[in-house]
Amino acid sequence: MNVSVHYQIRGHSGNQIAASIEHGIQSGGLNPGQPLPTVRALAARLRVSPATVAAAYNELGVRGLVHGSGRRGTLVNRRPPLLTRAVFAPPAPGLRNLADGGPDPAMLPSLKPYLAQLDGVPGKYGDPENRAALVRLAARQFKSDAIGAESIAVVSGALDGVERVLQAHLRPGDAVAVEDPSYTGVLDLVAALALVAEPVAIDDWGPLAADLNRALKRGAKAFIVTPRAQNPSGAALDRKRAAELRHVLAGYPEVVLIEDDHAGPVAGAPAITLSGGRERWATVRSVSKALGPDLRVSVMAGDALTVARVQGRQSLGPRWVSHILQDLVTMMWADAKTPVLLQRAADTYAERRRALIEALAEHGIEARGRSGLNVWVPVAEEAAVVNAMTAKGWAVRAGESYRIKSAPAVRVTISTLTAEDARRFAADLADSIRPRSHAQSA
């Protein structure tokens, strides 16, 4: 039976069985990605009807704890919406961390001068949810990138914005077209909302138009796209690919378009949008990569109905994003020095991407990364490469958690990787790959 020997599912009703599985997930007795017993097998062991077990699995699926996976059966979600241990353990002490996907702290503006400018007057109930000055600056940015800015919301990070748009328009069981490979947070969120991820293959210039068309034909009701700094691959739309995708989307006017522009001005690629003429759409732009991960502020432009639904639901929960954070971002965006700092960061990341890709090419290793903070390196066996690089002092991320159907790879975060580091890393990676290839050819 496909259940951990350390945890046995119990119960005589659907609610009891569901509670037992939830406890197993939270306690670690049932692991992320682990298959649950078949409905008939568990029903026979617990001496209940198959309908009772099916009801328990359905309840857990609606709550985002498990999902159906065809012939693989019902699996525990990789990041279920429960307080559990971290999906990605921090690198061991002494390893050079090229796994976390974050910006270089040295490229972030200091908060001290802006914190000193805060007036110290606490906000209160009844204040407008969104700072007018922040909304004006956001509208100016969106308009300069040919993105409609008539309706704007302020949310707590890019993924928060994506979640709110999905909840505003979709229901459990609906399919969502996602890039493959895709950001783990998007895949986990889709699963947690009991939605179905429909993979769309990508290359260096973003989603392939023909594969998007296939996904939409299969009934996907939303499409999540990263226009630049795609995580993990570094893909970025160009105007040709954007035109091809717009042509496909035009045949599906009811599909909700969600653009996740999480890196914004430090992506190292121009902002290109697919939103023009769409009935239902949202573009979410975060400040986390450009100004700092702890500034949990993103601005969202979208059609009037989508933004109204997002703000309406927000008003019943957190009510607003901290005005202190909004004021800090407003001051930083308004500062004439900030664009210079952001351009410096974008140029630095571009040079570090280029240095690593070129260093790998010298060893005959293919790598991808047109924009953003990561480089995607195809490999034959992810775990073997990750372990070998760990032994050499490098922490990199296996690509398995980012992939649905795409080929194996490892993700390397380049944000702190100097040219000298890149040469050492490339040599170590080549050394980690070659022994296995030699062994296979012997």
Q: What is the domain-level CATH number for residue 243? A: 3.40.640.10
List, for the chain, all residue ranges whose pLDDT scores fall below the cut of 50.
5, 437-442
Q: Given this model, what pLDDT does residue 84 score?
A: 63
Supply the DSSP symbol for 32.
T
Residues 218 and 292 in one domain: yes
Q: What is the domain-level CATH number for residue 28? A: 1.10.10.10
Q: Given this model, what pLDDT does residue 79 score?
A: 82
Tokens of 359: 């260093």
Residue 9 lies in a domain: no
Residues 302 and 430 in one domain: no
Residues 367 and 275 in one domain: no
Instruction: Choose among 113, 92, 101, 297: nearest CA to 184.
Output: 101
Residues 220 and 314 in one domain: yes
The torsion angles phi and psi of 331, rounded to 5 degrees, stand at: -65, -40
> Residue 251: how many CB atoms within 10 A of its CB?
10
Residues 122 and 233 in one domain: yes
Residues 302 and 237 in one domain: yes
Distance in angstroms (rounded) separating the CA atoms of residues 86 and 94 = 20
CA atoms within 13 A on the CB side of 20: 18
Residues 30 and 63 in one domain: yes
Q: Given this model, what pLDDT does residue 85 score?
A: 57
Residues 280 and 384 in one domain: no
Q: Given this model, what pLDDT does residue 3 score?
A: 55
Residue 7 lies in a domain: no
Q: Given this model, what pLDDT does residue 89 score?
A: 72
Phi-psi region of 369 (alpha: psi -120 to 50; beta: other; left: phi over 0): left
Residue 82 lies in a domain: no
Residues 366 and 417 in one domain: yes
> Residue 27: how many CB atoms within 10 A of its CB?
11
Q: Given this model, what pLDDT does residue 441 score?
A: 42
Distance in angstroms (rounded) separating the CA atoms of residues 28 and 179 = 30
Dump pLDDT digits (tens) for 186-239: 999 998 898 999 999 999 999 999 999 999 999 999 999 999 999 999 999 999
Q: What is the domain-level CATH number for residue 388? A: 3.90.1150.10
Residue 170 lies in a domain: yes
Dump pLDDT digits (tens) for 136-177: 999 999 999 999 999 999 999 999 999 999 999 999 889 999
Tokens of 22: 């939830």
Does residue 404 contact residue 182 with C-beta atoms inside 8 Å? yes
Question: The whole model's pTM is what?
Answer: 0.86
Q: Given this model, what pLDDT does residue 7 score?
A: 76
Tokens of 342: 């952001």
CA distances (Å), origin 340, targets 106, 107, 116, 270, 330? 14, 11, 21, 16, 16
Residue 81 lies in a domain: no
Does residue 401 contact residue 389 with C-beta atoms inside 8 Å? no
Residues 178 and 305 in one domain: yes
Query: How many domains are contained in the chain?
Result: 3
Residue 2 lies in a domain: no
Residues 298 and 389 in one domain: no
Q: Given this model, what pLDDT does residue 71 score?
A: 75
Q: Range of 351's domain?
A: 96-105+339-441
Residues 430 and 353 in one domain: yes
Distance in angstroms (rounded) separating the CA atoms of residues 150 and 222 = 22
Distance in angstroms (rounded) separating the CA atoms of residues 332 and 342 = 11
Q: Given this model, what pLDDT does residue 169 score?
A: 97
Helix orientation angle between 323-334 and 132-144, rounded to the nearest 10 degrees? 50
